[in-house]
A and B are shown apart, each in its own frame.
Chain A
Amino acid sequence: MTQVITQPAPSSAGPRPKRAWRTILVGWSFILPNFVGFALFTLLPMLAAFALAFLDWDSYSTPEWVGLKNFQRLLDDENFHVALGNTLYYAAGHIPLTLVAALGLAMALNRKIRGVQFFRTAAFFPYITSLVAVAIVWNMLFNPTAGPVNQALEAIGIADPPRWVASTDWAMPAVILTSVWRDMGYYMVLYLAGLQTIPNEYYEAARVDGANAWQRFWSVTVPCLRPTTFFVLVMLTIQSFKVLDLIVVMTDGGPGRSTLVLAQLVYREGITEGNFGYSSAIALVLFVIVLTVTVAQFRLNERRNAR
């Protein structure tokens, strides 16, 4: 952003417009190989998604403009209501729990002691483990009768532990716990980077003032981490609302519809059923939710910064 405007080299003094054209050509030649693919396979479908939402089109019929009819249909679609509710439920669990877990991990691992690198590596590894492996393992850990989770719960005196992925009430908490375990390492890395920017003098000053560890955390660490926390929150929000693959692999929306989420409804309606128009309307709602929440977060952050 802070680039100095390139000075034309005095030696190659051609007519100006010709040079300008050359620069444009050279610039585009760098961008083009990527841009062709990007425009065709990302930009175009993205724009098409908006238009499709206003069409009545399934894989057999010819597309027909129907205005807001798809959105009206959403209002009465029970699947949509359930999916919207479940998505909000997932976000309400995934966002705060991951944030707290990531910050906790970062605080625990932000020490200069021998071997800490090993622990950081270990905490990050779940994030790059394939979802399929993660889902299979956690489905077994959550096994209602003999799974380690319930054995541990019984060992600490819970006589009737939840049936997790086998029950409609506990499937979503199981998915949330799995996703928190998987994602916390990623956000831990961001928090560790944030923690390292806090000058040590702040802590020393607080110590001189007689602040204990808890007070130092709340009055130095938390305020200094605000930019990181803001970024983490935005990322977590976007990530939560578009959750798809974990659910598809772990519960496939079940049992019943108890873990059906919006992105999965888009997949089912659009790709399995071939209702291109209707599925795009759901996708548009998903996008608008994500956009609204993100913009709101930016606004809030600006207002706080202004204060």
Chain B
Amino acid sequence: MTALHDAPPATTGSPGRAPAGAARRGRGLVRKVLAYAVLVVVAALVLVPFAWMVSASLKQNNQVFTIPIEWIPREFRWSNFAEIWDRIPMLTYLGNSAFLAVTITLLQVLTGSFAAYGFSKVRFPGRDALFLAYIATIAVPWQAYMVPQYIMMQQAELTNTYWSIILLQAFGAFGVFLMRQYYMSIPDELCEAARIDGLSEYGIYRRIMLPLSKPALASLALLTFVNTWNDYMGPFIYLTSNELWTVQLGLRSFVGQYDAEYAMMMTGAVVSVLPILVIFLFGQRYFIRGIATSGLKG
């Protein structure tokens, strides 16, 4: 950056100047190398658990815990990834998780964005008080009302069905909140112009707001999908039959039953994380944006 200023004045040609410039340039290089070194160390620390997971998933059970650790398996047992499907009904679990995640995401995105339009672009009495009720529930930990929810579901005889999970998770306040934040940033004049052109409120929502809010919709959809996919407590409380289990429940139960099958556990863990990794890599900017908007403006 400062290299230009360091050019030695041509006239003097003093022997001390040139090495000084080189040293400065050298220091820049050292700094850059140092910065990368820091990053690599940080990344290594963060990623070690994943490295362990993948490495162990390709070993034999009795080779997982060795002293010293073999980070690269002596022989790669790719067959683990074929066996896991027979050891536990992995395909069923994945299907169940996908079904729940897709259903809940669709409902959350649809009803959330629809309500957010009402909360941000239609003025009617009581609207802001109602929104405050939504906000207030975000501050109450779910753990404080999980028992009444459970009693309700028990009375309605919906425990051990997907209905319980879907009904409890599809209408959360978070989606409304996130979408409203985004709609507030879209100027009202746009809606006003559309109203004058004779578009109904529903028309404005469908033809103007939805297309404009694609990034926010993507953020909400991805966050909801991943949350539902990863959720443990919901399925743990409500789903008792094995054929309804999600990946998370299936994996946890496998670990409880076969506590020495280290390699298989890790194979299962890799299979359960892989879909999330793919989704994350494709949509990471939406994740980050979703967190930044819902977080910092909260």
Residues of A in contact with B (beta carbons under 8 Å apart): 1, 3-7, 9, 23-24, 26-31, 33-38, 40-46, 48-49, 52, 105, 108-109, 111, 113, 115-116, 118-119, 121-126, 128-134, 136-138, 140-141, 143, 145-148, 151, 181, 185-186, 189-190, 193-194, 228, 231, 235, 238, 241-242, 244-245, 248-249, 262-263, 266-267, 270-271, 276, 279-280, 283-284, 286-287, 290-291, 294
Contact = CB atoms under 8 A, between A and B. Distances in A.
Nearest to A178: B49
From A41, A148, A241, A244, name the one whose CB has the most chain B CB atoms within 10 angstroms: A41
A41 B255 contact: no
A124 B42 CA distance: 12
Contact of A45 (B122, B148, B192): B148
A151 B48 CA distance: 14
A4 B168 contact: no
B273 interface: yes
A190 to B, nearest CB: 5
B288 A189 contact: yes
B67 interface: yes
A283 B247 CA distance: 29
B232 A238 contact: no
Contacts of B298: 231
Interface residues of A, dominant DSSP: helix
6 contacts: A38-B173, A130-B229, A140-B266, A190-B295, A276-B147, A283-B146
B118 interface: yes
Q: Is the interface of B mostly helix, strand, loop or mixed?
A: helix
Contacts of B124: 23-24, 26-28
Contacts of B226: 128
A64 to B, nearest CB: 16
Nearest to B164: A41
A286 B114 contact: no
Contacts of A30: 114-115, 117-119, 122, 201, 205
Residue of B36, B127, B147, B192 contacting most chain A CB atoms (<10 Å): B147
B171 A48 contact: no
B82 interface: no
Given A42-B137, A133-B269, A137-B52, A189 B276 contact: no
B291 A270 contact: no
A72 B247 CA distance: 41
Contacts of A108: 38-39, 42
A1 B188 CA distance: 12
A132 B169 CA distance: 19
B46 A109 contact: no
Given A46-B137, A249-B252, A283-B144, A141 B52 contact: yes
A244 B233 contact: yes
B87 interface: no
B195 to A, nearest CB: 6
Contact of B141 (A38, A126, A241): A241
A205 to B, nearest CB: 18
A129 B196 CA distance: 48
Nearest to B284: A121
A33 B168 CA distance: 14
Contact of B32 (A35, A49, A113): A113
B66 interface: yes
Contacts of A287: 140-141, 144
A133 B64 contact: no
Interface stretch (B8-16, B73-81, B149-157, B212-220): B149-157
Contact of B111 (A29, A34, A286): A34
Interface in B140-191: 140-152, 167-168, 170-173, 175-176, 184, 188
A134 to B, nearest CB: 7
Given A6-B123, A9-B196, A193-B296, A123 B42 contact: yes
A74 to B, nearest CB: 15
Contact of A125 (B66, B140, B277): B277
A5 B170 CA distance: 32
A126 B195 contact: no
B272 A130 contact: yes
Contacts of A228: 296
B99 interface: no
Contacts of B291: 186, 189-190
Contact of A189 (B130, B247, B292): B292
Given A190-B296, A276-B151, A130 B232 contact: yes
A266 B232 contact: no
Ranked nearest first, the 10 interchain pairs of A and B with the lowest CB-CB distance are A37-B171, A30-B118, A270-B147, A146-B65, A242-B141, A45-B148, A34-B111, A27-B124, A34-B115, A263-B143
Interface in B247-298: 247-248, 251-252, 255, 262, 265-266, 269, 272-273, 276-277, 280-281, 284, 287-288, 291-292, 295-296, 298
B141 A290 contact: yes
B133 interface: yes
A212 B292 CA distance: 30
A33 B111 contact: yes
